[in-house]
Structure 1
Amino acid sequence: MPDRADGPIEIEIRNLGGIESLSTSIPSGVTILAGANATNRTSFLRSVAAALGASDAAISLKTDAESGSVTLSFDGQKATREFSQSGGTVHRRGDPLSDAPPLVDTYVSIFATNPARSTIRNGGTGLREVLMRGVDTDAIDAEIQSLKSEQADLEAQLAEIERAQGRLPDKRERRAELADELAETEETIATVEDTIEAYRASEAEIEAAEEYLSTLEETRNKLRQVEREIEETERTRDTLVEERATLEGELESLSVSADRRADLSDRKGALESEIDALESTIAELSDIISHNQSILEDADALDVLGTDDEVVGQLDPSSSTVRCWTCGSEVDRETIESRIETMEAIRAEKNETLQEKRAERESVAEKLAAIEQNQTERERLKRELRETESAIEAEDRSLSELRDRASGLREEVSDLQEQVSETAELRDSDLPEAYERLNRLQHERGQLETRLERVESELTDLEATADQKETVSADLEQVRADLEAARGRVDRIERELIEEFNEQMADLIDLLGYENLSRVWIERLVDGQTTFEIHVVRDTVAGTVYEDTLSTLSESEREIVGIVVALSGYLVHDVKETVPLVLFDSVEAIDAERLAAMLEYVGQKVPYVLTALLPEQADAIDEQTIQAPAFEP
């Protein structure tokens, strides 16, 4: 049994449908609203639905009124919908009980045009979409896409970390090799310097050689400095070239066809025109329906099981015909009522199409926004690419200048070496060769130091990257868990809906006693796209069973199946937490005995149940001992 509210729901209606003024209340449990056709039962139910949060097409203003309202009060809560008319346009405002019209229309307002009942009448087409309206699948899909993107980023980071770990042994080995080479070079330099120092005993030779050797050493130092600058400039240029390639790749990935943007823009304009036309058509249909209802419903009282006949009489017109408001002729009420039902069905169809067009327009708008964002990113990348090109050109100019300087210094070194070799005082001495060797060794030492410094820097970066593995692995594990949970959320809800429907359907088939109807159940099919397939199983006289289709069910059986679809969505999506009331209308196809059992069953799951019945149905249910609370207008 559901939790019951402490008190009744107080209802006040003014100038809505065919009701001019009404103040009443309904207690918790099952309340039966009894009355003949054209006694404002539909206006009453649709007014209550509007206050609960049904779509704007649920109810309209009384034809001769400029404003109207409906208010529900219970358990310290208050829900209102207000309607006003100016310049031929009806304005709606207020604070309904729910801010989700699709949920109220589908799971609470179980009227003739209810989507759950309609989909069963149509053979079960769109059953999954009806049952899943309580799930924000777009938000779940967006969350899944975000988690998949985050997962890909983390997996890329982890792959980079593992590559870094794989490179560590070779880098460490290379560092050791360079350190050993540098140590050997240092030892050799020390030996050569000792040799040169020994030559200092012969001052005359040294003085003769040192003038040329000093100039030669100075020039070589200049050359080494220029060569280092060339190496550094080449590395900088290589880095800039890599950046340029990266920017060009990113720019290429963001390319957008102008035709694609134009097509989307045209489609958006076409959708907006279609939406305007649909909104205009729905508004016109609502006004026509409202006007016709006001012709039929010109009384203000309602009757329920156990109330005075005088109240019902106030709502039931005494004549069986009415005067047509367009031509003035007498027209059967049934004809107008049939036209109203047809127009209501058309309006519901147009409203459903309107929602689809609005959703498509939002999708197109999002795609256009993404294209604009891509265009902004392309402009930024183009600016960076131009800046990089300029930087590469500057480095090329520097390289050209440095290479020219290096070429000049090499010529100077060659000239000085020739002069040294021609110096008579040094011709018989090993000192020039020692200086030459020392110069080469010092140059090699500088190169080794540079290489070792670079390897150590790379090694530090690799070790820092490898140290992130534990954190990135933990983050990736969490994202994978979140992604699995998000993917399973829709599956879980789908399974809960099917389980709820199958259990309730089994209960009601057993409770209502439909002959030769063994089972009605939903099967969840997953083949690229998830669908719900409804099965009908019948009994034969011989005791065997066979599968049948919805089209072979009686009207009463189909209506029960549609009601169970709506009730399953109501319970699984926890609509009761927001809207503790379910409304029934147009249930005449269900015989009184089964209707009584069905209402009692629903009343065990929903705090408040309000249903409109013809007097003969209400009387028959009373004979079936359904104890409906008194309905006091």
Structure 2
Amino acid sequence: MEPKLGTAKQEVPTQAMLSATNIGGIDETKVSFQQGVTVLSGRNATNRTSLLQAIMAALGSDQVSLKADADEGSAALEFGDEIYRRHLSRRNGTITTEGDPYLEDPELADLFAFLLESNEARQAVARGDDLRELIMRPVDTGAIKTEIEQYEQRKREIDEQLEELDTLEQRLPDLEAKRTRVTDEIETLREELETARVELEEANVDVEKRREEQSELETKLEELRETRSELEHVRDRIETERESIEALKKERGEIRDRLESLSTGEETDVSQIEAEIDALQEEKADLSEEVSQLKSTIQFNERLLEEPDSFLGETTKTDDGPITDQLLDDSETVTCWTCGSSVAREQIETTIEQLRTAHQERLKERSEINSELTDRRETLSTIKENRTEYRQTQQRLESTEDEIERRSDRIDDLTDKRERLTDEIDDLEAEIDDLESEDYGDILDQHKEVNQLEFKLERKERKRDEIEDEIATIEDRLSEREELKGRREDVTDELTDLRTRIDQIEANAVEAFNEHMENLRATLGYDNLDRIWIDRTRREVREGRRKVTKSSFDLKIVRSTDDGTAYEDTIDHLSESEREVTGLVFALAGYLVHDVYETVPFMLLDSLEAIDSERIAALVEYFESYVPYLVVALLDEDAQAIEEPHNEITEI
């Protein structure tokens, strides 16, 4: 909050050159600025405000006006190695612009850097408007909410992965114990098999005349062993398929439950909502255009009161002096710029106030439409997301059911194969029985035992390999945990930042205003004010069709009576000087909170006549420490009070 901009001043060029044609009341001019304070000194109607508008035009603002008798104008700012140009044209009563200005989006600068009399921040304080809305206007809260939802989804996905890893980790002890048990069983089987093989070898007798029968018997025994092994393999596959089907059925149940909890949104007419969004956007665009036109009209009429000679062309001499001097002497009337007749100043001021009221009403309407538009977009987005999730879930259900059906068919095929293999084993055992004899009965039994042991050993080794593969897979997955935790921490930090960003901006704005208001109250010597500050409160408001809790900035003023009794006052009872200073401090708070000095290194001050000279000098000195280029329009007598080294422009 304390960017005393000594550093910022070193980051921007030390000099700027401005050229302007037909801006405000200016025919043509070219002036240069040095970094620091530049004072535009002169009496009323000397185009000081017009020069400020020319700077605004080159920087990118649309809140500028053309000379009354011109249809085109231009402004160019030479700043460092770059030249920023803007061309203005009057078309059908509206000013259009083109070119390459300094700013792509002038909103922040219009609100908090271009502090002319009509500046919205200054006017909002004077009228007691919603200060919180103005401070938060440049903040895209909708984008922040969308980003929060995206990060919340990422966090949920990471949490699910971490939970899955926890579940897998809990399985490791059982798997390792199972591996140990199977490994022990394998060792036992190997020992038994080795013993059986030795016994079989010892029991073999060399009977040449039965060699052919023995060979056939051994062949049948080998075939029997292989068939039994294949049968067991088929049984294992059947069991595996059944387990998979059970898991798939459980998953299918969960998917069906999820599907029932989702709404397809078919009952909602999406096209109707989209049509409403289009209509609201058009209405918002129309209101924005009307707001812009009202703003231009207000500025134009304000300048008519301040600089009447800029609308009357060349002055001519009469016996009583120049026409402009006569107009300035007569403070009760102003010459109409359209018909040339005299109009009461009070009448123009009343019209301006009516225009300002209409301007505020249109802004309020636009804000309400914007809230309703946000509500419609959120509704549409929710419906589309639900429909997408419903379709995806339905596809998952269909895919799961297809998989169940495929595995069921596979079980049927495996069952047929199991029955065929069982029949083959029965046939082989019958053939072996026929080949048995008393001499080879023991040998046959020993062959069977060896075959069975080999088969059991093969199954156990296969089971051990499967367990080890599963353990390795789990360990590989668990190695991802630290990375997932790091990602979750980053996402959580970002979520915290996003969730508190709006609150932080509000808090910083209130803190900045209260700090600078107190500093300037003491510096400028407003001793009849005990304190002026913003109190940040929360209240429930309606936004579209919903009720939401929003912050509110309430301006508080405390005075004391002669006997020291404190009482709360209102903005209406402040002097014009106090109101102007309060509005400027509020603009400065917005300038600092939104880091406007990083976007545009200029701040423009105008219409400070309500503040006395000494206080203007102190105010300029205070603001100068926060702004690289501070350009101030002052009357001659006020300019003389500026003691700090500064640049001064007297001829425009």
TM bracket, shorter-chain basis:
0.7 to 0.9
Name which of 224, 232, 241 aligns with 1:224: 232
Name which of 8, 21, 36 aligns with 1:14: 21
Query: 1:611–1:448: structure 2 CA closer, same or farther, 3 Å change rule?
Result: same
Name which of 40, 50, 55 aligns with 1:48: 55
State the partner residue of 2:73.
68
Which residue identity does 1:71 align to in structure 2?
Answer: A
Distance 2:579 2:463 in 1: 83
State the partner residue of 1:632.
651
Which residue identity does 2:651 align to in structure 1?
Answer: E
State the partner residue of 2:283.
274
TM-score (norm 2): 0.76
Unaligned runs of 5+ in 1: 303-309
Which residue identity does 1:68 align to in structure 2?
Answer: G
Name which of 182, 186, 190 aligns with 1:186: 190
State the partner residue of 1:170.
174
Query: 1:337–1:510: structure 2 CA closer, same or farther, 3 Å change rule?
Result: same
Q: Does 1:81 find its partner at 2:86?
A: yes
Which residue identity does 2:480 align to in structure 1?
Answer: Q
Which residue identity does 1:46 align to in structure 2?
Answer: Q
Q: Deviations over 1:394-419 (max 9, x none)?
A: 33323212212212332443465567
2:522 alignment partner, SS class: helix
Q: How do 1:337-348 residues align onto structure 2 when only pairs under 5 Å count?
A: 337-344=349-356, 346-347=358-359
Contact residue 189 and residue 438 of structure 1 kept, 8 A: yes
Q: How do 1:261-340 residues align onto structure 2 when only pairs under 5 Å count?
A: 261-262=270-271, 264-282=273-291, 284-285=293-294, 299-300=309-310, 313=324, 320-323=333-336, 325=338, 330-340=342-352
Q: Deviations over 1:156-211 (max 9, x none)?
A: 44444444443322221110101111222233334444454455438669689668
Q: Deviations over 1:100-124 (max 9, x none)?
A: 322112211223443322333354x
Contact residue 109 and residue 583 of structure 1 kept, 8 A: yes
Structure 1 residue 44, shift from structure 2 partner: 4.3
Structure 1 residue 457, shift from structure 2 partner: 0.7
State the partner residue of 1:621.
638
Which residue identity does 2:529 align to in structure 1?
Answer: L
Which residue identity does 2:70 align to in structure 1?
Answer: A
Q: How do 1:328-407 residues align onto structure 2 when only pairs under 5 Å count?
A: 330-344=342-356, 346-347=358-359, 350=362, 354=366, 357=369, 361=373, 368=380, 389-407=401-419
Distance 2:437 2:530 in 1: 123
Structure 1 residue 324, shift from structure 2 partner: 7.4
Contact residue 581 and residue 607 of structure 1 kept, 8 A: yes
Contact residue 42 and residue 650 of structure 2 kept, 8 A: no
Distance 2:124 2:164 in 1: 53
Which residue identity does 1:174 align to in structure 2?
Answer: K
Structure 1 residue 226, shift from structure 2 partner: 3.4
Contact residue 23 and residue 66 of structure 2 kept, 8 A: yes
Contact residue 31 and residue 611 of structure 1 kept, 8 A: yes
CA RMSD of aligned residues (A): 4.7
Structure 1 residue 456, shift from structure 2 partner: 0.6
Query: 1:286–1:106: structure 2 CA closer, same or farther, 3 Å change rule?
Result: closer
Distance 1:44 1:359 in 2: 38
Q: Does 1:540 find its partner at 2:553?
A: no
Structure 1 residue 545, shift from structure 2 partner: 3.8
Q: Deviations over 1:541-591 (max 9, x none)?
A: 233545544454344323321211111222344433443433334445445
User: Matched residue pairs, number?
Assistant: 617
Structure 1 residue 522, shift from structure 2 partner: 3.4
State the partner residue of 1:306.
none
Structure 1 residue 537, shift from structure 2 partner: 2.9
Q: Deviations over 1:313-363 (max 9, x none)?
A: 58967873435748x865324423442454255346535754775687578
Judge which range, 87-96 or 129-138, deviates more.
129-138
Which residue identity does 1:332 align to in structure 2?
Answer: A
Distance 2:163 2:468 in 1: 22
1:562 alignment partner, SS class: helix
Structure 1 residue 458, shift from structure 2 partner: 0.9
Judge which range, 13-22 or 108-117, deviates more.
13-22
Name which of 94, 98, 101 aligns with 1:96: 101
Q: Does 1:576 find its partner at 2:597?
A: yes
Judge which range, 91-100 or 38-47, deviates more.
38-47
Query: 1:524–1:11: structure 2 CA closer, same or farther, 3 Å change rule?
Result: same
State the partner residue of 1:456.
468
Q: Deviations over 1:40-73 (max 9, x none)?
A: 655444343333333x3x1244455332222334
Distance 2:584 2:302 in 1: 26
Distance 1:292 1:560 in 2: 24
Which residue identity does 1:581 align to in structure 2?
Answer: F
Q: How do 1:546-565 residues align onto structure 2 when only pairs under 5 Å count?
A: 546-565=567-586
Query: 1:465–1:311: structure 2 CA closer, same or farther, 3 Å change rule?
Result: farther
State the partner residue of 1:514.
526
Q: Deviations over 1:381-440 (max 9, x none)?
A: 766765665454333323212212212332443465567668884699455555554454
TM-score (norm 1): 0.78
Q: How do 1:429-448 residues align onto structure 2 when only pairs under 5 Å count?
A: 429-430=441-442, 433-448=445-460
Query: 1:568–1:611: structure 2 CA closer, same or farther, 3 Å change rule?
Result: same
Which residue identity does 1:94 align to in structure 2?
Answer: G
State the partner residue of 1:307.
none
Which residue identity does 1:278 align to in structure 2?
Answer: L
Distance 1:285 1:501 in 2: 29
Contact residue 308 and residue 334 of structure 2 kept, 8 A: no
Distance 2:130 2:613 in 1: 30
Distance 1:516 1:293 in 2: 31
State the partner residue of 2:205.
201
State the partner residue of 1:305.
none
Which residue identity does 1:579 align to in structure 2?
Answer: V
Judge which range, 348-357 or 564-573, deviates more.
348-357
Distance 2:399 2:490 in 1: 40
2:530 alignment partner, SS class: strand
Judge which range, 263-272 or 84-93, deviates more.
84-93
Judge which range, 499-508 or 545-554, deviates more.
545-554
1:31 alignment partner, SS class: strand
Between the aligned residues of both structures, percent identity stands at 33
Contact residue 144 and residue 486 of structure 1 kept, 8 A: yes
Contact residue 94 and residue 293 of structure 2 kept, 8 A: no
Query: 1:487–1:236: structure 2 CA closer, same or farther, 3 Å change rule?
Result: closer
Contact residue 196 and residue 431 of structure 1 kept, 8 A: yes
Contact residue 501 and residue 521 of structure 1 kept, 8 A: yes
Which residue identity does 1:266 align to in structure 2?
Answer: A
Contact residue 39 and residue 316 of structure 1 kept, 8 A: no
Structure 1 residue 516, shift from structure 2 partner: 3.0
Contact residue 282 and residue 347 of structure 1 kept, 8 A: yes
Q: Deviations over 1:267-313 (max 9, x none)?
A: 312212212321442465467558767977664499xxxxxxx9995
Structure 1 residue 518, shift from structure 2 partner: 1.3
1:84 alignment partner, SS class: strand
Distance 1:350 1:156 in 2: 48
Which residue identity does 1:537 align to in structure 2?
Answer: V
Contact residue 58 and residue 76 of structure 2 kept, 8 A: yes
2:585 alignment partner, SS class: helix
